Amino acid sequence: MNNALIVRNVSKTFDKFKLDNISFEVPGGSIVGVIGKNGCGKSTLLSVLMGMKESDSTDTGIVIGGVCLQKDEKEYKKKIAYVFSELPFMEKISAVSIGKYYGRYYDGFNQKKYEALLKQYGLIDFPGVPLRISKSKKDIMNVSDFSQGQKILLQLAFAQSYDAQVYFFDEPTGNLDVEFRDKFYETIRELAADENKCIIYATHLVEELEHFADYILWLQKKDNTTSKFYYGSLDELRDSYRLVSGDKTLLERIPKELVVGGRLSESSNELLIRYDEAKITAKINHEIRQHMRYAELKEIMYYVQKKEIIKESGDE
């Protein structure tokens, strides 16, 4: 399978923050979830990948479909689309007019497809006919009248209306309800079904990535420098850890070198451990295995970043 996106040596330095030497490759037809604590540089990375900010490294290479951003920025940007939490378009015009005004800047933008998608997403009643606040012809609903969810769908419709290869999503669903998210995830999965395309999806809602992500790019910040902590499949990441729940006597029998972190309290006790079936057999007995389960991504991220066993009130 060919790579839809190749990223080499992306670095970006600000006054009190540095994104350091990020490299990864994304196979076509894949969805990459970008995770990390708030302020670790997820949005900065996406800005560099979209050509909105320049990498500081002289040997950076960002390539989509054989086109390198550093060598042919204009052609590269024809191959990307994006959906942000904040609308990047003017808002005092109708959804239909957004396509007519901005679509001319994108090769192959299909206004008919765009309007069909607007109708599918409930943003217009009929192709070419904007929604209205009332029956009066003067009361056309502008984009500024849309809800947050409608503005996200507007961007999604626009992004799907020309032949992009890499789609960037930056915190698009943070304040939206569960029903909307489920429909949104389904659309994303359909978009990534094309093996010539890929999706880069940055979010602080780590749990949503378990619905659709194939790969995880985990950024970690230490001493104001962010680097790549993990890049690989979601399944491999989850398979590298287990969560063990039980009484303290049971948990104390787990070798300390396996423990990543955990929580001890009067009501519940759990430890996240590193898991390698080939190496762990002699260290973990059958009784402990009975209290072991796969950890969710948000649990892995939480305990790995804490790097300690949290003792709550009532514990010494």
Q: What is the CA radius of gyration of the chain?
A: 23
Spans of the chain, pLDDT less than 70: 1, 126-140, 312-316
DSSP assignment of 135-198 equals SSTT-BPPGGGS-HHHHHHHHHHHHTTS--SEEEEESTTTTS-HHHHHHHHHHHHHHTTSTT-E
pLDDT of the residue at 142: 87
Contacts of residues 63-70 at CB distance under 8 Å and 24 or more positions apart, as own/partner, are 63/5, 63/6, 64/4, 64/5, 64/6, 64/165, 64/166, 65/4, 65/165, 65/196
pLDDT of the residue at 127: 63
**161-199 residue pLDDT tens:** 999 999 999 998 877 778 888 888 999 999 999 999 999
Write down the residue that tokens 């900065």 correspond to.
Answer: 44
pTM above 0.85, yes or no: yes
Extract the runs of DSSP E, i.e. beta strands, from 36-149. Answer: 61-64, 67-68, 80-84, 124-126, 129-130
Which of 2, 26, 13, 138 is CA-nearest to residue 80? 26
Write down the residue that tokens 């001890």 correspond to.
Answer: 264
With left for phi above 0 and alpha for psi between -120 and 50, is residue 115 left, alpha or beta?
alpha
CA dihedral sign, ordered 203, 209, 215, 217: positive
**281-294 residue pLDDT tens:** 777 888 889 999 99
Give the number of other CB atoms < 10 A from CB of residue 146.
18
pLDDT of the residue at 132: 58
pLDDT of the residue at 309: 80
CA gap 5, 24 in Å, rounded: 8
CA gap 89, 86 in Å, rounded: 9
